[in-house]
Structure 1
Amino acid sequence: MIKMTRATDGKRVLRLANGLQLGTGNLLAGLFLLLAALTLAAASTGLGLTHTGLSDLVRSLFGENLAGAEDFALWTVRLPRIILGFMVGWAVALSGAMLQSIAKNPLADPGLFGFSQGSMLMIMLLLVLMPAAPKSMVTLAALFGGLSVAALLLWLVGGERSSGLSIVLMGIAVETVLSSFGALLLLYLPTETSIALSEWLAGSLFQANWSIIAFFVPLFAASVVAAFLLGPAMAAYDLGTNMAMALGEPVRQSRPLVLLAAVVLNAAAVTAVGPLIFLGVLAPHIASFLSPAVARARLFLSGLMGGILVIAADALTRSTDGALPLPLGLALTLVGVPLFILTLRLQALRKLQSH
């Protein structure tokens, strides 16, 4: 049974029979983002050199055979890029939202903590030593690099009472060291290897295919479950570590679990498309502007916004008709940063009007 009522802050919520409640504002924002993602994905099927799009896709779904070029463009190139792009954006944004709650810092993301750099450095070392390494080994290398950084970070900041600020500062230090090693590696590698690694570091959905999607789907499903289970812990961490402990949050157990989830999600994304710098900051902030949320709602809205931003960025890379090859990372900056600036400006105006 679903009942409309008001929360303690006066906002309207839908309360389920099991006690779970959904803010109507958050629910509407989630539906809007989901509709926006579907609309953008549909429009993105028509972008590219081959003249085909959503109408041909619908005909294909109903059993009509398409021409070879149209079938290849839709089912081998565009759909895998759209689906993988959404899941990768979801993963990185979710990771960033989790880390911001843990650190109680709005600028925290996998890059700031050094997780992305750890994964990238291990992949770079693997590809230098074994250029023909299978995808499974690359994934394991990325996971090992990210988890190693997370373990080092937990050890360096000390016990469960360490503040979010100490985690951020230590993460910046670790990230700086790893970035320096990565830059040194690129500088002294053979030219061809260095160029290839530089292209990968810029981010790309060029290698998106159904086998990578099949690998990512279970992880995506697991992330949805993780967001649901870890949501209440995020609400406690948003109040600070000491307050979270006072509220009964088992920090010693939950903090490593949150870091593990963030590392796994980010490592998988880095393996699939390369690093997506700043997405972990962009998506949660833009989502919060649409609907201020905490706990599970904030995680789900952030994930949806991350997926939308990557689909939009990929659409921008394919709309250039090949005249100007645009890396995914740069396209994401061109799409996300103006939105980020706009939301910050509107938030500032909203605060001025409220005073």
Structure 2
Amino acid sequence: MIRGGRAIDGKRVLRLAGGLQMRTGNLLAGACLVAAALALAALATGLGLTDTGLTDLFRTLAGESLPGAENYALWTVRLPRILLGFMVGWAVALAGAMLQSVARNPLADPGLFGFSQGSMTMIMLLLVFLPTAPKSLVVLAALAGGLTVAGLLLWLVGSERSSGLSIVLMGIAIETVLSSFGSLLILYLPTETSIALSEWLAGSLFQANWAVIAAFAPLFVLSLAAIFVLGPAMATYDLGSEMAMALGEPVGRSRPLILLTAVVLSSAAVTAVGPLVFLGVLAPHIAGFLSPAVARARLFLSALMGGILVLIADALTRGLGGSLPMPLGLSLTMVGVPLFIIALRLQALRKLQSH
């Protein structure tokens, strides 16, 4: 049974029989973001040099066949890029939202903690010593790098009562060391290897295919379960580790689990498309501007916004870049940073008007 009501702060909510309640504003924002993602995906099917799009997609689903070029462009290039781009953006933004709550720092993301850099460093070392490494080995290397950084971070931070600031500072220190090591690798490697690594570090959906999507899809499903299971803990971590413990949150168990989830999500994203710098910061803040939320709602809206930002960035890459390959990381910065600045500015004006 679902009935309406108001929360303590006066916001309208829907209460379910099990005690779960959802703010109507968050539900509306989620519905709008889902609609926006579907609209962008539909638009993206028609972007490119080959004249094909959503109409042809419906024709093929109805059983009609397309000419070779149109079929290849639609099913081999565009649809895999759309699906993988959304899932990767979802994963990075979700990891960023989790880490921001754990660290109580609005700038926390997998890059700031060193998770992305750990994955990238391990992949770079693997490709240097074993250039023909299979994709499965690259995935394991990325996961091993991220988990190593997470384990080192937990060991250095130590106590359950350690503050979010100490976690961030340790993460920055680890990330700085790994970034310096990665720069040395690129600087002193042979020219061809260095150029290839630099292109990969810029981020790209060029290698998107159905095999990668099939490998990423279970992780996407697990991320939905993670939102449901870990969401309530995020609300307590927003109050600080000591307050979370006072409210009964088992910090010693939940914090490693949250970090593990963030590592797995960011490592998979790095393996699939390379690093997406700043996305883990951008998406939660823009989603929070659209509809302030906590716990599960915040995670879900942040993840949706991350997928949407990558879809917009990829559409910009293919729509404006033409035959010139624009790195996904660059187009994501061109799209996300102006939106981020506008959201922060409007948020500041909103606070001024409320006083």
Interval containing the TM-score (normalised by the shorter chain): over 0.9
- In the alignment, is residue 231 of structure 1 matched against residue 231 of structure 2? yes
Distance 1:12 1:327, change over 3 A: same
User: How many percent of aligned residue pairs carry the same amino acid?
Assistant: 79
- Structure 1 match to 2:294: 294
1:157 alignment partner AA:
V
Q: Which whole-Å CA distance do the structure 1 matches of 2:335 and 2:228 have between them? A: 29
What secondary structure does 1:236 align onto?
Answer: helix
- Structure 2 match to 1:31: 31
Q: Which whole-Å CA distance do the structure 2 matches of 1:242 and 1:324 have between them? A: 52
Q: Which whole-Å CA distance do the structure 2 matches of 1:320 and 1:235 have between them? A: 41
Alignment of 1:36-47 (within 5 A): 36-47=36-47
Q: Which whole-Å CA distance do the structure 2 matches of 1:288 and 1:135 have between them? A: 36
- Structure 1 match to 2:250: 250
**What is the CA distance between 1:284 and its match in structure 2?**
0.2
Unpaired segments ≥5 residues, structure 1: none
**What is the CA distance between 1:352 and its match in structure 2?**
1.2
For each residue in 1:240-270, what CA deviation from the matched residue of structure 2 results, as whole angstroms up to 9, or x when unmatched?
Answer: 0110000000000000000000000000000
- Structure 2 match to 1:332: 332
**What is the CA distance between 1:321 and its match in structure 2?**
5.1
- Structure 2 match to 1:272: 272
What secondary structure does 1:320 align onto?
Answer: helix
What secondary structure does 1:14 align onto?
Answer: strand
- Structure 2 match to 1:222: 222
Q: Tell me the TM-score normalized by structure 1.
A: 0.99
- In the alignment, is residue 2 of structure 1 matched against residue 2 of structure 2? yes
- In the alignment, is residue 20 of structure 1 matched against residue 20 of structure 2? yes
Q: Is the contact between residue 48 and residue 321 of structure 1 (CA under 8 Å) also seen in structure 2?
A: no
**What is the CA distance between 1:322 and its match in structure 2?**
3.0
What secondary structure does 1:72 align onto?
Answer: helix
For each residue in 1:177-200, what CA deviation from the matched residue of structure 2 results, as whole angstroms up to 9, or x when unmatched?
Answer: 000000000000000000000000
Distance 1:60 1:177, change over 3 A: same
Unpaired segments ≥5 residues, structure 2: none
**Cα RMSD after superposing both structures:** 0.6
**Which runs of at least 4 in structure 1 moved beyond 6 Å after TM superposition?**
none
- Structure 1 match to 2:160: 160
Q: Is the contact between residue 109 and residue 280 of structure 1 (CA under 8 Å) also seen in structure 2?
A: yes
Q: Which whole-Å CA distance do the structure 2 matches of 1:209 and 1:158 have between them? A: 41
Aligned residues: 355
Q: Which whole-Å CA distance do the structure 2 matches of 1:151 and 1:325 have between them? A: 37
**What is the CA distance between 1:320 and its match in structure 2?**
2.7
Q: Is the contact between residue 57 and residue 74 of structure 1 (CA under 8 Å) also seen in structure 2?
A: yes
Distance 1:69 1:321, change over 3 A: farther
2:6 alignment partner AA:
R
Q: Which whole-Å CA distance do the structure 2 matches of 1:288 and 1:282 have between them? A: 10
- Structure 2 match to 1:72: 72
Q: Which whole-Å CA distance do the structure 1 matches of 2:5 and 2:63 have between them? A: 47
**What is the CA distance between 1:236 and its match in structure 2?**
0.4
Q: Is the contact between residue 49 and residue 321 of structure 1 (CA under 8 Å) also seen in structure 2?
A: no
- Structure 2 match to 1:132: 132
2:53 alignment partner AA:
G
- Structure 2 match to 1:315: 315
For each residue in 1:268-309, what CA deviation from the matched residue of structure 2 results, as whole angstroms up to 9, or x when unmatched?
Answer: 000000000000000000000000000000000000000000
What secondary structure does 2:320 align onto?
Answer: coil
1:184 alignment partner AA:
L
- Structure 1 match to 2:117: 117
Q: Tell me the TM-score normalized by structure 2.
A: 0.99
